[in-house]
Structure formats: C-alpha cells, structure tokens
Amino acid sequence: MLMKSCDVIWLYVSCSSEAKCLRDEDVLQSLPVGTTAIFHFTDLGPQVTWGTVFLTECAGPLIIYLMFYFRLPFIYSPKYDFTSSKQWVVHLACICHSLHYIKRILETLFIHRISHGTMPLRNIFKNCGYYWCSAAWMAYYINHPLYTPPYYGQQQVNIGLYIFAFCQLGNFSIHIALRNLKNQGSKNKKIPYPSKNPFTWIFWLVSCPNYTYEVGSWIGFTVLTQCVPVAFFTLVAFIQMTVWAKGKHRSYLKECRDYPTLRSSILPFIL
C-alpha cells in the first residue's frame, strides 16, 4: 500500500508478506512492523499546493467571464466590441458569477483549512482547463449580442436569483462550520452537527451540505440565465460532487462509530 507525504515522495512499507498503508501523521517508530521492515520511496515528480490550485482554478473563470461580459475584441463581431448588453439579466448574471468566484477565492485564502499537502503539477492544468473552458462556454452565450432573456421573464429571473443567493449563503455557512470543526493542519475527522445557524440544519440529513448548496447555486444560475451550457455544467458538477460526497460519507461511517445513520451523502433520503 502507499502513503502520500506532504513533499515529493510516496512511502511503501512492508513487513514479511504484509504491506501496511501509512497515513501522513504516522510516526515510524510507533509502527507495528516488528524487527524488520522494508521501505520504498518513489519520486512523485513536480508538485503544487492545493491552495495554489484552488486559487488558480477560481481566478480563471472570474477573469474569463468578464472578458466576454465587456465584449473585448475578437470575441464577437467588431461592431459589438466594448459594447454593453441591453438585457438586464445579463448584468445580473455577471454579478452573480463574479461574486461566486470572489467568494471562493476569499474562502480559500481565509476560511478553508486544507489538510492535504500537495498534488501533482499536471492536475492544475486538468482542473483549470475544466473550469476555465466551462466559464468561457457559458459566458460566450450569456453575453452574446443575440442572447434572449428567460422565457418567463422577470419572474423566472427572480426565482433563479433567490435560489442562487440562498444557496450561496448556505454554502458559506457550511464552510464556516467545517472550519470551526478542526484545527489548522489536523486530519482527524469530527462529526459536524447543526448549530444555531439555520443554514446548518441540513446537517441532520446530509453529510456534505456544502456540495448540496453548491449544486443548488448552479441550479439557480441555470434558472436565472436559461442557458444550455450552464445547465450542462450544473449536471457535470452534480455528478462530480456526488462522487466526492459519497467518498466523504463512507469515510465518516468508517472513522466515526456513532455517525448519524439518517444522513445521506448529498441529497436527503435520495443519494
């Protein structure tokens, strides 16, 4: 088995015919390996911190979307360069999209306690490619000169905006709750419980409500813009976050004996 360290090595340890899976916090002299143990080290290659990846993948969509919003040259027809859309929903969508990624950047800098050390450098290109290209795809159509507002008009825009704002506040509340749950650098899992903040009450039913609120935000943005690329991005994001949520849910069940059995991974009573 293997362990990923905080620098550039993986550590394999075997004793007799049995291999042991080590965690970052394991101390070598306390390992039950007997009198003989064999350690194998493998170079992980170039690494980058998780915080750097988060900041890069969030800053890109923010900048790229604004490039389309301000209609910089070579994006649309020259007659539309540096022009502004006549549709109010386009400006509202830009505000929502920008605030979402500004929020994520500030959370990365001041709220998240990232317990992982590093990840392979190649991952930054994969992650940024996904987020940056998705932002460009959405921004191109939402800010297009021929973009038309949602079919049900202002009522649909308002509903989408309310969903988006509610879920953004919920997502922020959950991140604050998770931050207060563990100390800097700690990897010990503690069971999160609802607090006096109503946005945290979803913890009674869901293990990873931060993902639940995140998906809800993008559903609201989809309703607000009525844009197919946004809907597609929301679907892909939901699938990916479901995978992450299920993994964390299994980890909670494995490491916490008294973990509430009523909770689901991401959707109450469903998933």
Rounded Cα gap, residues 17 and 246, in angstroms: 32
pLDDT at 3: 37
pLDDT at 9: 44
pLDDT at 34: 61
pLDDT at 45: 72
Residue 41: helix, strand or coil by DSSP? strand
Rounded Cα gap, residues 133 and 126, in angstroms: 11
The length of the chain in residues reads 271
pLDDT at 53: 85
Rounded Cα gap, residues 239 and 250, in angstroms: 17
The whole model's pTM is what?
Answer: 0.85
Kindly state the tokens that stand for 30.
Answer: 């306390």
Per-position pLDDT tens, the chain of length 271: 333 443 444 454 444 445 555 666 667 666 666 666 666 666 667 887 877 888 899 999 999 999 999 999 999 999 999 999 999 999 999 999 999 999 999 999 998 776 666 777 888 888 899 999 999 999 999 999 999 999 999 999 999 999 999 999 999 999 999 998 876 555 566 889 999 999 999 999 999 999 999 999 999 999 999 999 999 999 999 999 999 999 999 999 988 888 998 999 999 999 8
For residue 249, what is the DSSP state?
Answer: H
